[in-house]
Structure 1
């Protein structure tokens, strides 16, 4: 059973989510409309295990809130809530400190899986990330991870760093003084080497393994 805080400015959705979480056997520690209210309600002596955090909120949005939590309470797991499966939003939340994300229209079984994985593994990335990547992130395949490191060249590493930003592939090509076709080649090569299928997967690999340093 986890102690959970809910941070979302949509009260009806938040109340429904609170009821679902209780039905799943967890405790809702408190609810908040935005990040600033979350900070005010946090008790250092009774912190939540997990915070379900909306991305778009007034006063203090999900990105700022996740960064604040990462700095002040890094052991508390952040599960980002999103209306849309948006690559840029997901990557930015991961960079800010979220340990996973879930869509607001997900079914109860998926939410239950997300909460379970956050408690047991420390992260949840749904089906955007392959099993091999999850093991690499969790340090369960150190040998295979080292081999992947060795196979990634300097230009691919540079591309990975740009993949963790909001730049489009065309803009990355301009930054690296390369053609869009060459950039597509780097992307496809990394997809194959790391057994990853999406840009979000590449960004999560780069961030979580420390292969690319994020300022």
Structure 2
């Protein structure tokens, strides 16, 4: 790993790591510090907000558990005030509730601290390329949660900073499986006209001109996995 990091040049401007464990932030700096010209650290939510306002980092890496707040609450504040900043959640927790809370708050990626360094670095590169990255455990929980969401008036889901209803997400999954409007109508117990309205809304929200665009959005944002297509 040291050889890998020595080969990496500082190709990004700045990152802020928010974690209350100093040994963890020191370890993160050893792994990714050479990728960034500026490396900042905050150990609680209050200092994190101050440092973001002061330094405007390109990337924020945040743990879910913080001394003065939870990560999802802090992410919402950060995304509201700094919507263009990329946020990568990382935690020892891979429970469904933690992952879904962070997802709904607007994070651009999620990795678990037990993963190896290469996956962590890969996630950072993808986020800095304006893409999302969710580790395998996170994707499984996301797909399972969406698959069981049938109430169109249930809490909204935030994917890539876009708000979707449960049925809209189910529509994306069925479109990815190349089901026809009639097949989707039977599956969701909706009229074909209603299905077409949902299809139109989904295409508009994900800015897709065709089915390929919907599939690309679904895969990049963890709504579907390749093996499910």
| Common fold by TM > 0.5 | yes
Q: CA RMSD in A?
A: 3.5
- Aligned match of 2:26: 15
In structure 1, stretches of 5+ residues that fail to align are 134-154, 165-185, 197-204, 211-215
- Corresponding residue SS for 1:40: helix
Deviation of 1:26 (Å) = 2.4
- Aligned match of 1:193: 174
Deviations 1:85-140 (A, max 9, x none): 1211111111112111111122111011101110113321233549xx9xxxxxxx
Are the equivalent residues in 2 in contact too, given 1:21–1:28 (CA < 8 A)?
no
Structure with bigger gyration radius: 2
Deviations 1:152-207 (A, max 9, x none): xxx9652694595xxxxxxxxxxxxxxxxxxxxx9xx87962669xxxxxxxx9xx
- Aligned match of 1:123: 132
Distance 1:56 1:156, change over 3 A: closer
- Corresponding residue SS for 2:76: helix
Q: Which of the pair has the greater relative contact order for Cα pairs under 8 Å at 6+ separation? A: 1
- Aligned match of 2:84: 75
- Aligned match of 1:172: none
**TM-score scaled by structure 1?**
0.60
Instruction: Write out aligned runs for 1:43-58 (5 A).
Output: 43=53, 46-58=55-67
Aligned length: 154
